[in-house]
Amino acid sequence: MSYASEISKRRTFAIISHPDAGKTTLTEKFLLFAGAIQSAGAVKSNKIKKSTMSDFMEIERQRGISVASAVMSFEYRGLKINLLDTPGHKDFSEDTYRTLTAVDSVILIVDSVKGVEEQTENLMKVCRMRKTPVIIFINKLDREGRSSFDLLDEIESKIALKVLPLSWPISRGADFKGVYSLYEKKIRLFDIHPTEAEDAITISDLHSAELERTVGEVLAGQLREDVELLSGVYGFFEKQQYLAGEVAPVFFGSALNNFGVKELLDTFVDIAPLPMPRDSDQRAILPEEEAFSGFVFKIHANLDLRHRDRIAFLRVCSGKFERNKFYRHVRLKTNLRFSNPASFLGQKKDVIDEAYPGDVIGLYDRGNFKIGDTLTDGAAFTFQGIPSFSPEIFRELIKTALTGKQLEKGIKHLTDEGVAQLFTMDDGRRKIIGTVGQLQFEVIQYRLEHEYGAKCRFEPLAFYKACWITSHNLIQWEDFCRYRSDRIGLDKDGRPVFFVESEWMLHHYIKQYADIDFRLTSEIKAVPPAKETAMA
Ligand code: G4P
């Protein structure tokens, strides 16, 4: 198969949602349709569901939330689909943001009973920033809830993106009859006990009297009215607008009952973007370029406790990746080769010989990689755009004398993985851990203990945010550094960071030090730390 047709076969995406909206259920249905797993009905069993294929970590099973993002690849209708799983829990949102830099599109699930929830709004901000194409699946139509028009209004206003329904539900809750596909111009009737993978009844003409016979006169009339209204209000689907991230097509269904899932998957396969270009510090890198390049967006340590594996997940951006070939690690200025690169189906790993743009591969790593690192065929560019956001909670790490060395190692590994952010103060003597939520501290403590045999404790710090600071004004810079030396530290790459105590104080400093740039977001740049420590 030619290089161009390999690229055109790839679709790389993530499913994102607020916890409990149905991400695990939908993921498993996709895998079932594709034949990648066989256990139909498994999702209904709590026991099996909570140890779903994408759940990597012991702690996840204990808590029933998805802590680590996993990658699943499967074939569907002749395409190679790479599905990047994301943790739904708010405390791990940084992991999700980073994963969003490695996909070409997303499917957003909205719970039709709860509507748009907080986590969804945040994730969509990142998608909008990156102009990522989004398809929306409104789930749990088998339950009573708000009207579909209300839901669309809410989605449009809360995620600030134009929506366009491609399917429309016929009633909902106990009375849910099915959906009309505005894309295929077909009606599919809901059957709570489907014999096939999905229900089989289709009616191709909306005006046929068959509609009355199957859904009744009232609902038939309502559907015809709704569909007319829809085309007036939302207009018609244009793929280009979706690909530009301007319009989000919407589907309705019930993942648990396998309803509307196949339409969603089939339409996704029809319209989702091929691997897209990625920005580097020198230029945009196109997937069609034959020289290999890729970047690490996630690191996962010790999947298998017996081997203490560490896997760097790399998104291939251009060219063909080949096993056992030397590639340039741009930050370390060294060449590395990989004898057992892996592709994934949940916990099942396969060694692969080659990979193409859009693919995500796992590289076994002995501490060479950090999130954001670029690997190339020899070129010296660095991929851009993996953001690092200011943490919300800060604590100082207090070590217990007995486990000092293991603790240092564990903290370094965990923060390289992006589990939390590490800052240092007082020439490295004080270590500050920053997280989005409390749960991350529990994960860190659990993993330090179970994977590194190290115990620690955390002292709370009353910081509001970490601001990355730069300035071209030497006098102001020196004055500020002297004045607030007790609150200035370095991030993991050696960049100066100011820990501000409150929002009010931040505004005060911004006014007082007009030539100092205070930023709550940094890009993770894979350049040598020495360059980064410069004042500006
Ligand atoms: P998540 O990964 O987004 O957190 O959600 P997950 O798929 O685990 O689904 C959360 C809950 O919602 C599960 O119920 C699941 O069965 C249910 N669910 C998913 N899709 C639908 C749907 O279309 N209709 C209805 N009515 N429920 C749905 P649970 O009680 O937490 O688990 P379980 O005991 O059902 O396995």
The model's pLDDT over 412-465, given as tens digits with 9 standing for 90+, comes to: 888 888 889 999 999 888 999 999 888 888 888 888 888 888 888 899 999 999
Mean pLDDT of the residues in the chain: 84
* DSSP label at residue 158: H
Instruction: Compare 54 and 468 and report the one with higher pLDDT.
Output: 468
Q: pLDDT grade, residue 45 (50/70/90)?
A: very low
Which helix (H) or strand (E) covers residue 260, if one does?
none
* DSSP label at residue 436: S
pLDDT of residue 306: 60
Structure tokens at 119: 């986590």
Q: What is the mean pLDDT of residues 282-299?
A: 94
Q: Are strands 374-376 and 293-301 parallel, antiparallel or unpaired?
A: antiparallel
Instruction: Compare 67 and 190 and report the one with higher pLDDT.
Output: 190
pTM above the 0.75 mark? Answer: yes
Name the closest-CA residue to atom 28, ligand 1. 256
Q: What is the mean pLDDT of residues 237-252?
A: 95
In tens, the pLDDT along 54-108 reads 444 555 555 444 444 467 888 999 999 999 977 766 777 788 888 899 999 999 9
pLDDT of residue 200: 47
pLDDT of residue 277: 95
CA distance 141 to 265: 17
The neighbour count for residue 534, using CB atoms within 10 Å, is 10
pLDDT of residue 514: 95
148 in contact with ligand 1, CB cutoff 6 A: no
Q: pLDDT grade, residue 216 (50/70/90)?
A: confident
Q: Where are the domain boundaries for CATH 3.30.70.3280 in the chain?
A: 393-531
CA–centroid distance, residue 21 to ligand 1 (Å): 7
Q: pLDDT grade, residue 531 (50/70/90)?
A: very low
pLDDT of residue 388: 76
Q: Which of 296, 257, 189, 251 is nearest to 40 (CA)?
A: 257
Q: What is the mean pLDDT of residues 112-129?
A: 85
CA distance 506 to 527: 28
Q: Which of 518, 468, 280 is nearest to 385 (CA)?
A: 280
Q: Where are the domain boundaries for CATH 3.40.50.300 in the chain?
A: 3-271, 278-376
19 in contact with ligand 1, CB cutoff 6 A: yes
142 in contact with ligand 1, CB cutoff 6 A: yes
Instruction: Compare 301 and 397 and report the one with higher pLDDT.
Output: 397
pLDDT of residue 34: 85
Q: Which atom of ligand 1 is nearest to the CA of 28?
A: 7
Q: pLDDT grade, residue 346 (50/70/90)?
A: low
Name the closest-CA residue to atom 9, ligand 1. 22
Question: Which CATH superfamily hosts domain 3-271?
Answer: P-loop containing nucleotide triphosphate hydrolases (3.40.50.300)
Residue 530 sits at the vertex; the CA angle it makes with 525 and 535, to the nearest 5 degrees, is 85
24 in contact with ligand 1, CB cutoff 6 A: yes
pLDDT of residue 489: 95
Pick the CATH number of 278-376 from 3.40.190.10, 3.40.50.720, 3.40.50.300, 3.30.160.160: 3.40.50.300
Q: pLDDT grade, residue 532 (50/70/90)?
A: very low
Q: Which atom of ligand 1 is nearest to the CA of 18?
A: 3
Q: Are strands 105-111 and 10-17 parallel, antiparallel or unpaired?
A: parallel
CA–centroid distance, residue 23 to ligand 1 (Å): 8
* Contact yes or no for 452/407 (Cβ under 8 A): yes
Structure tokens at 502: 């409150």
Q: How far from chain centre, in Å, is Cα 341?
A: 22
Structure tokens at 494: 């050696």
Name the closest-CA residue to atom 6, ligand 1. 22
| pLDDT at residue 49 greater than cutoff 50 | no
| pLDDT at residue 400 greater than cutoff 50 | yes
Tokens 């708000």, located at residue: 146
Tokens 């730069």, located at residue: 470
CA distance 429 to 38: 53
In DSSP terms, which residues pair with 13 in a beta bridge?
Answer: 83, 105
25 in contact with ligand 1, CB cutoff 6 A: yes
Look at residue 154 and give its three-state secondary structure: helix
* DSSP label at residue 374: E
pLDDT of residue 66: 46
CA distance 38 to 35: 6
Cα dihedral across residues 332, 336, 342, 343: positive or negative: positive
CA distance 143 to 508: 50
| Side-chain-facing half-sphere of 293: CA atoms under 13 Å | 26
Question: Which CATH superfamily hosts domain 393-531?
Answer: Peptide chain release factor 3, domain III (3.30.70.3280)
Q: Are strands 105-111 and 134-139 parallel, antiparallel or unpaired?
A: parallel
Q: Which of 312, 319, 311, 273 is nearest to 295 (CA)?
A: 312
Cα–Cα separations (whole angstroms), residue 291 to 52, 103, 322, 343, 425: 37, 20, 11, 21, 41
Name the closest-CA residue to atom 4, ligand 1. 20
CA–centroid distance, residue 482 to ligand 1 (Å): 54
